[in-house]
Chains A and B, each alone.
Chain A
């Protein structure tokens, strides 16, 4: 961690907002700890936790960067990752608009219902007319406001000469309103205002639920570039250095890359030797040794010692940007997936329309007046109300995704659940997916009294090895010792004072090919080795998948021997050395063979495959871009959420089908009543509420399923 020596006046300091995701917060104590802990840091203006989203928004001076905040949170005892800024996006606005419409419809529904109940209880004559007028007074503005989401979408569909669910809804609501208004004018007996508003209310409830599941738009390249170093130290001709944003770099410049820093551009090493962590780009877990003349890519992290890199390609021309383009192309295929609700409405809309038209024609032929025929036709439209159908899918999906969030799996949208339910093969990346993706220290050789010192030192650094050591020690229940004046020297290690003794974490003198670090306390030294272990429950999860009829394979960019070793341990087939394009080709081949593949991966190199797969899951440690491309993200060290996701997705689809089945049965029973002209506003209202309640109650059964 670099000390911020620059003293700036707070007024002149640029203020930034950073959002970090902190999956580990559990209680009020965590909220207080995070907000106070971050607030106490020099340069942090405010920190506000959003507990529902497990995020913290920090306003801080530009002199602090994301990495400093992550380190600060780790010292407070929380794992954190910066998330791409999501300024209140279109989706949030849509969801808010729907909520407002829902509130207005709810208000209108309740007040009109007060008046309608009086009419149904037998209010007649002048009172009835007055109440109808009052109902009209409330209903017309409410329908105008709350109906907009449906009217707009229906108008759009009609303009393109197509029909969707919103067309029969809009026609039904508008016709019912017009008829009721006519009845009010002529002093008729029945007005259907409350039915029209109630229909809108239930449908808006379904829409609002659906909006909460809505996917955030993929930020594509923007998210990918955030994986690159955002800035670099540039060596100028006169020997001085200055920080430049990645966007200001040009080919030919020389970057000074410190240990622990991510490269901001592609280039060639011109001075220094070291090891790079390319895991994000290639999926390879072992650091790659680089020396003068080697090509290095943006997004790689320099592990050991400072390098000088001559820039060859920047921003849009880097290998990283190439992957972003592959991803965008691969993502096109998935947008053609038709959701189950749309498939149902395709059949539903024409059926309802023709039924209502038939009812109108039939009664006209039978000799009833046009007024009575129209009333019956509208009653058909209202009673076959798609309330239950409109709620059938979102209610089940919201309950399921809520249950999954509590188990550490975030599903991005409803169609993801539908696609997850269909998968029949699973492809796993190795590094970071089957394994933890970060080096973990083998701490068995460390004596008890040395561990707190090691933890105190490791906690204060952003170096991957320090982080792995800190995670291993914290996992073993070690509490950090009080080590003072800790300083980090790039490429050397960490030093501090512990009760007057010099303590240090430094490069292991003996280390050659394996990763290791050396802990020194006074005159004693210990070598600590590192490895990237498989997730504890990897084998178990793969067996669970097999039980669900999903065949699992490994498809990794890591070197073949490493992949084979992992495959042997897990007893599944697999292949290594796969480039992003190879992975994409494998997936396309599977899809062409009629399979529905699930891709589970974390690296940028998995990005195109994640976007192309029928469904995809990424761990929470994945790069931003991979999380963007994936349908679901799981947090924590267990792999179990993958099989849980498939199990719950299948259960959700079963419940959704039950809901549709119920809606169909309900319609079969209700339509004859409407056709016979027996549906009064009262019957319509009761039937509507009941059908919606049954569907919601049935969906709530899913909450127990994820436990």
Chain B
């Protein structure tokens, strides 16, 4: 029982943190272009045109 006393708040706190992160991500427009994000990792950063 005493274990639960701090395990449950920790579990809830982690869940709430995840929720907060989701809200932040949504506000900053990270869900606007999901396919684009998947493609962009393939773009080379050097200035010449990709082949």
Contacts and interface: CB of A to CB of B under 8 A. Distances in A.
Interface of A: 27-29, 31-33, 36, 49-53, 96, 99-100, 103-104, 107, 110-111, 114-115, 127, 134, 138
Contact of B36 (A50, A96, A115): A50
A110 B36 contact: no
Contacts of A51: 33, 35-36, 39
27 contacts: A27-B39, A29-B43, A32-B43, A32-B50, A33-B49, A36-B49, A49-B36, A50-B32, A50-B33, A50-B36, A51-B33, A51-B35, A51-B36, A52-B33, A52-B34, A53-B33, A99-B26, A103-B23, A104-B19, A107-B15, A107-B16, A107-B18, A107-B19, A111-B11, A114-B11, A115-B8, A134-B8
B50 A33 contact: yes
Contacts of B34: 52
Interface in B5-51: 8, 11-12, 15-16, 18-19, 22-23, 26, 31-36, 39-44, 49-51
A31 B44 CA distance: 11
A302 B42 CA distance: 44
Contacts of B1: 127
Contacts of B43: 28-29, 31-32
The 7 closest A-B pairs by CB, nearest first: A51-B36, A28-B42, A28-B39, A52-B35, A32-B43, A50-B33, A107-B19
Contacts of B49: 32-33, 36
A50 B33 CA distance: 6
Contacts of B26: 96, 99-100
A28 B40 contact: yes
Nearest to B41: A28
A107 B15 CA distance: 7
A336 B33 CA distance: 34
Contacts of A52: 32-36
Given A28-B41, A99-B26, 20 more contacts: A28-B50, A29-B43, A31-B43, A32-B43, A32-B49, A32-B50, A33-B49, A49-B36, A50-B33, A51-B33, A51-B35, A52-B32, A53-B33, A100-B26, A103-B22, A107-B16, A111-B11, A111-B12, A127-B1, A134-B8
Contacts of A53: 33
A31 B36 contact: yes
A563 B50 CA distance: 47
Contact of A111 (B15, B31, B50): B15
B9 to A, nearest CB: 10
B47 to A, nearest CB: 8
Contacts of B22: 103
Contact of A103 (B19, B35, B40): B19
B36 A32 contact: no
Contacts of B35: 51-52
> Taking each of B19, B26, B36, which has the highest tally of chain A beta carbons within 10 Å of its own beta carbon?
B36
Nearest to B5: A130
Given A31-B43, A32-B44, A138 B36 contact: no
A121 B44 CA distance: 54
Nearest to B12: A111
Contacts of A115: 8
A342 B22 CA distance: 32
A658 to B, nearest CB: 29
Nearest to A51: B36
Nearest to B51: A29
Interface centre among A51, A99, A114 (most CB of B within 10 A): A51
A420 B14 CA distance: 46
A28 B51 CA distance: 11
Contact of B50 (A29, A50, A99): A29
Which of A31, A104, A114, A138 has the most C-beta atoms of chain B within 10 angstroms of its own C-beta? A31
A29 B36 CA distance: 11
Contacts of B16: 107
B50 to A, nearest CB: 5
B44 to A, nearest CB: 7
A49 B37 CA distance: 10
A134 B11 CA distance: 12
B15 to A, nearest CB: 5
A479 B14 CA distance: 57
A32 B45 CA distance: 9
B51 to A, nearest CB: 8
Contacts of B44: 32
A51 B50 CA distance: 17
A138 B9 CA distance: 12
B45 to A, nearest CB: 10
B28 to A, nearest CB: 12
A31 B12 contact: no
Nearest to B27: A96
A111 B43 CA distance: 40
Contacts of A31: 36, 39-40, 43
Contacts of A28: 39-43, 50
A103 B26 CA distance: 11
B26 to A, nearest CB: 7
Contacts of B51: 29
A100 B22 CA distance: 9
A107 B49 CA distance: 45
Contacts of B42: 27-29
A51 B37 CA distance: 8
A138 B12 contact: yes
Nearest to B47: A36
A549 B44 CA distance: 51
A107 B16 CA distance: 7
Q: Which of B18, B34, B39 has the most CB of A within 10 A?
A: B39
A104 B32 CA distance: 20
A674 B51 CA distance: 65
B20 to A, nearest CB: 10
A96 B32 CA distance: 11
